[in-house]
Amino acid sequence: MTINSSVLSLFSNIQVNSGSNSSNIINVSSVLNDAADATQQSSLSIYNYYEANGANLKKSNNSTAAVKASVSYFENKIKTVTSVNQLFSDPKLSSFISEALGLGDQSQTQALFKQSLTGYVIPQATYQSLISSGLLTSNGVPTSSTAQATLIKDGYLDPKNPTKVSVANQLSNTNYLNAALQLNLATTGLKTIQSSATIATLVSQYQTYSFENTVAAKSSTVEQARYFATKISATVAAIVGTQGKNGTAISAATSTSVVYAILGDKTLRDVISTIYNIPASEVVQPITSQEKVFANKINIQQLTNPKFVSQLTQRFLINSDLNAQSSTQTNGVLSLFN
């Protein structure tokens, strides 16, 4: 990879805070210099290309025969569905919905997919407040019969099985929870998913999913960076709520929930690990140990700052290229001894 002077000039003054310690900063230009021979085309340059041309490229992808056929099938079929079960009994319809919701191929986990989307769910920020107020234990169990009745009344527990919160609230992957909240099948049945607004949203989300797959075919690193750049702030904001604003602090419990949400999303976790050079071996450690490692690195309050997120994204792309270069060089040296 040849890094010209204009690129070095562009990033020469970028500084990225590491964790909550603002004095611990990384000068991106020095990292770029170290990456000068990494690859023919840098991940950062590919990322910038898609950032500059993404709208037109996505429009072209939306016009392909495959995407148009999938969208047409969904728009016509969803209007004829008469029960929630039918959403999952039609593989083609189910696949469109799961991909539009960002869950990918669920054909091998159909039972989990259905159970997650059809359960009574609690928004993440509300979930934390219910624990803090003493209505729920940290494991999602009502603390008393009175608490259970209140949670049923508020639509947070299944009246037929009110002993614990839904599967979507228990899963570490928060994408299932977000999907369930969007469709709200447990409380509104087909009303939400068959509304014109939701249909339009799902079509747009599916088109985005399809386009991002084309990006991944070019560079999985760039696709991960784009996912991180669009997802991290929303993930944090959904949990933090109004905490951290107007000089207020983010509670320890909320901070822990943010870290667990990141750990539960494989892409967010992998990106954060690459940014802060957290070793892959950390994944086999107890979840509480992992939480401490990530919490020590992440500046949660800054993760809703677009400029900071942009800096982290650039750092991920650069570190990814450096790691790839290091791996290639190591393999080359080892091959001399074969």
Task: Compute the distance between CA of residue 8 and CA of residue 241 in angstroms, rounded to an integer.
Answer: 37
Residue 309 predicted with pLDDT over 70: yes
Residue 19 predicted with pLDDT over 90: no
Torsion angle in degrees (nearest 10) through CA of 118, 119, 124, 125: 110
Among 2-11, 93-102, 233-242, 283-292, the minimum mean pLDDT is found in 2-11
Pairwise pLDDT comparison (124 vs 231), residue with the higher score: 231
pLDDT the model gives residue 327: 61
What number is the average pLDDT over the span 325-335? 56
Residue 32 predicted with pLDDT over 70: no
Residue 25 predicted with pLDDT over 70: no
Residue 275 predicted with pLDDT over 90: yes
Q: 43-62 vs 306-335: helix axis angle to the nearest 10? A: 110
Among 71-85, 201-215, 239-253, the minimum mean pLDDT is found in 239-253
Residue 24 predicted with pLDDT over 80: no
Helices (H), 101-166: 110-118, 124-132, 145-153
Sequence letter at residue 296: N
Residue 284 predicted with pLDDT over 70: yes
pLDDT the model gives residue 329: 53
Residue 336 predicted with pLDDT over 50: no
Residue 333 predicted with pLDDT over 50: no
Residue 3 predicted with pLDDT over 50: no
- Is the Cα dihedral 98, 101, 105, 111 positive or negative? negative
Paired tokens of 263:
């750990």
Contact between 301 and 21 under an 8 Å Cβ cutoff? The reply is no
Contact between 33 and 12 under an 8 Å Cβ cutoff? The reply is no
pLDDT the model gives residue 238: 86
- Please write the tens of the pLDDT for every residue from 130-186: 988 999 998 899 999 999 999 999 999 999 999 999 999 988 888 999 999 999 999
Q: Report the share of the chain in percent with pLDDT over 70.
A: 85
Record: fold of 62-206: AGR_C_984p-like (1.10.3700)
Write down the pTM of the prediction.
Answer: 0.79
DSSP 276: T
CA atoms within 13 A on the CB side of 211: 21
In the chain, where the domains are located: 5-37+221-330, 62-206
What number is the average pLDDT over the span 41-52? 95
pLDDT the model gives residue 2: 44
Residue 189 predicted with pLDDT over 90: yes
Among 31-40, 53-62, 138-147, the minimum mean pLDDT is found in 31-40
In the structure, what pLDDT confidence band is assigned to residue 16 with cuts at 50, 70 and 90?
low
pLDDT averaged over the chain? Answer: 86
pLDDT the model gives residue 80: 97
pLDDT the model gives residue 283: 81
Among 152-156, 206-210, 281-285, 332-336, the minimum mean pLDDT is found in 332-336
pLDDT the model gives residue 125: 78
Task: Compute the distance between CA of residue 228 and CA of residue 296 in angstroms, rounded to an integer.
Answer: 19
- Please write the tens of the pLDDT for every residue from 68-111: 999 999 999 999 999 999 999 999 999 999 999 999 988 788 89
Q: Report the share of the chain in percent with pLDDT over 90.
A: 65
Residue 36 predicted with pLDDT over 50: no
